């Protein structure tokens, strides 16, 4: 099993941004990172799952990750046992990003 890192959202501000879906095939764990840049004072990102990348219905995985203070990184580890049994994952800005921009990426492996 190899480690895969994928940038889901970059330079995001405001609300409503949704990443492309990805398939964490054969992953033993998935970790989502939310990094903030200068000026960020609020916001949250929700990891979501569905049966496939083309799904029209998505479900929240755990609770939304609060965007950390500017220059910091918040971590969520919703899946820690192998194998990760979901068809697809994506990230969605669930609470408005205020005062700056964020990046969201995942590591699966």
- CATH number, domain containing residue 10: 2.60.120.1110
User: How does pLDDT run across 76-98, given as a tens digit for each residue?
Assistant: 887 665 566 688 899 999 999 99
Q: Which domain holds residue 52?
A: 4-108
Residue 1 has pLDDT above 60, yes or no: no
Q: Could you give the 3-state DSSP secondary structure of residue 2? A: coil
Residue 4, strand partner residues: 108
User: How does pLDDT run across 34-52, given as a tens digit for each residue?
Assistant: 999 888 999 999 999 998 9
Structure pTM? 0.88
Domain total in the chain: 1
3-class SS letters over 23-69: CCCCCCCEEEEEEECCCCCEEEEEEEEECCCCCCCCEECCCCEECCC
Q: Which helix (H) or strand (E) holds 94?
A: strand 88-108
Cα–Cα dist 104/97, whole Å: 12
Cα–Cα dist 57/84, whole Å: 19
For the chain, the first-to-last Cα distance in angstroms comes to 6
């Amino acid at each position: 099993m190899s480690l895969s890192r994928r940038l889901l959202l970059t330079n995001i501000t405001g609300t409503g941004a949704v990443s492309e879906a990805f398939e964490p095939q054969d992953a033993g764990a998935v970790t989502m990172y939310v990094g903030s840049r200068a000026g960020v004072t609020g916001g949250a990102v929700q990891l979501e799952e569905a049966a496939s990348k083309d799904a029209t219905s998505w479900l929240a995985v755990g609770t939304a990750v609060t965007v950390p203070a500017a220059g910091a990184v918040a971590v969520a580890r919703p899946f820690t046992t192998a194998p990760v049994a979901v068809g697809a994952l994506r990230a969605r800005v669930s609470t408005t990003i205020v005062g700056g921009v964020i990046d969201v990426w995942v590591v699966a492996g």
